[in-house]
Structure 1
């Protein structure tokens, strides 16, 4: 039994007349009559009784009608889901990063992603910035950008890029003319950081804390612009990634290499290891990596 015959039977019964069924199915009367005869020939028994120009379901017709209701509902649902897959699934991506300055990549990524997946909403969870992995584990996030890959038994990490971190000082600072500074040198400075806890701050997590080094003074200031102004006034030192420093580079500040070999930080995108993610998550990560690589290439040139 072909699907079109089920649609035909359902339309005739529910519309109550051949004329209205013709309008619903967009068929001519002769085409409808021909399809009905074809269906009855395939079955070898009538589907309708013809009485006084009315069509009344036979017992076989009643069985087919109930089958049509079930089958066509399932088929319509499947077709709808397939269309969503083709045009972009419905859903939400909740994302955060451990560093506010990382968000500068997202506008270009969102524009490209939403062009491909218009039915998927990307929600940036700013309140999870200082604890993205914790929020990921608590199922308050779907993705987290981090430089601290922990709990690898539960979380899968995909490399995004590596950035170099620099100490940013004023031209009047004692470090200004040095080719590089050593980790030990941070004991004698006023160090500006964006937030606490210290284990989320790269310079502490990777260099200072393992050596038991504490700066002379710690200044906590969430805004990069304000931090740069303090640096310009020679009131402190801040450590920034090369790409985060780029918009502020001029003669009023200097970027100093940290350690002779440099201080590098690997950024990852994290998601739960045992969770099944819809395919649009893979595309989002792909677009994010492409945008970051494009941004880095532009800066290199």
Structure 2
């Protein structure tokens, strides 16, 4: 109702959109306002204008409706035994170069599972997983909690990403002290456990010359490709740019700095749940 009134502006048009009579919708609106204890809309001639509290309710309605529509669609698909929808997201880097090939494999091996990408899962991935907004998270590092199961998928490497002509690009490996005079780009505002700050930068006591937060990995790569700084990123996540020689990758330290990726799922998922099957397929697919 809130959404329809907001989109049409009048009770009559909203009633038509909802398939009810104008009188019925007027009563429904009055009952809602009675229960809430305040006005949702004020009249301006024939049109309705949201009150501030009504605007807040309508904004929430617009967030809820897509989730309800998605839930109804999932129910109908599962009820008819056609497909099971599994929402998949990535906890960091927002890299999707692997996704088309994986989707193709899944459609051949598991045609009863429909994968749906949830790009927004990159923000607060664990909370999104716990709340059911996403079912499987491909995550680097150590993000598991007591309520979440972790399925090892593959081992990666954290590397220094530079412009091809940067002085550090020709080195076999770099030490943290090499970053002291560099303009350093990072995609995250906070230090993540198991990543470069905790394992490479902080132990050295070195602070890069300038640290700039660029929250989109693709933007970090574009800036480095234009020689605007360096960054430490997952080799796998930026492999396309490395292969195209847009940027160069240099190992961190003589021993290198590994990064484990896992598929995270809710602990409550049954053994034969579709989400667990997708996690196992991810591990098999990356292995081969």
TM over 0.5: yes
Is the helix fraction higher in 1 or 2? 1
- Uncovered stretches (5+) of structure 1, i.e. residues with no partner: 1-83, 295-301
User: Taking structure 2 as the reference length, what is the TM-score of the superposition?
Assistant: 0.61
Of residues 98, 102, 123, the one that matches 2:91 is: 98
Q: Could you list the per-position Cα deviations for residues 216-252 of structure 1 after superposition, in whole angstroms to 9, with x for gaps in the alignment?
A: 2223334444433322332200223333343223566
User: Taking structure 1 as the reference length, what is the TM-score of the superposition?
Assistant: 0.59
Match of 2:236 in 1: 243
**Is 1:194 the equivalent of 2:187?**
yes
Match of 1:262 in 2: 256
Q: Could you list the per-position Cα deviations for residues 259-301 of structure 1 after superposition, in whole angstroms to 9, with x for gaps in the alignment?
A: 111111000111122332644334322332233223xxxxxxx
CA apart distance, 1:172: 4.1
Aligned partner of residue 176 in structure 1, secondary structure? helix
User: Structure 1's 275 and 212: CA in aligned 2 closer, same or farther, altered over 3 A?
Assistant: farther
Alpha-carbon separation, structure 2, partners of 1:225 and 1:137: 28
Alpha-carbon separation, structure 1, partners of 2:269 and 2:275: 12
**Is 1:274 the equivalent of 2:268?**
yes
Alpha-carbon separation, structure 1, partners of 2:236 and 2:143: 24
Aligned positions, number = 210
CA contact under 8 A between 2:92 and 2:140: conserved in structure 1? no
Alpha-carbon separation, structure 1, partners of 2:175 and 2:103: 39
CA apart distance, 1:212: 5.7
Question: Which of 1 and 2 has greater Rg?
Answer: 1
Of residues 209, 212, 222, the one that matches 1:219 is: 212
- Uncovered stretches (5+) of structure 2, i.e. residues with no partner: 1-77
CA RMSD of aligned residues (A): 3.0
Match of 1:170 in 2: 163
Alpha-carbon separation, structure 2, partners of 1:199 and 1:185: 21
Alpha-carbon separation, structure 2, partners of 1:107 and 1:263: 28
Alpha-carbon separation, structure 1, partners of 2:204 and 2:147: 29
Alpha-carbon separation, structure 1, partners of 2:227 and 2:241: 15
Of residues 128, 142, 148, the one that matches 1:135 is: 128
User: Structure 1's 119 and 222: CA in aligned 2 closer, same or farther, altered over 3 A?
Assistant: same
Of residues 218, 227, 230, the one that matches 1:234 is: 227
**Is 1:149 the equivalent of 2:153?**
no
CA contact under 8 A between 1:98 and 1:200: conserved in structure 2? no
CA contact under 8 A between 1:117 and 1:280: conserved in structure 2? no
User: Structure 1's 277 and 187: CA in aligned 2 closer, same or farther, altered over 3 A?
Assistant: farther
CA contact under 8 A between 1:149 and 1:157: conserved in structure 2? no
Match of 1:125 in 2: 118
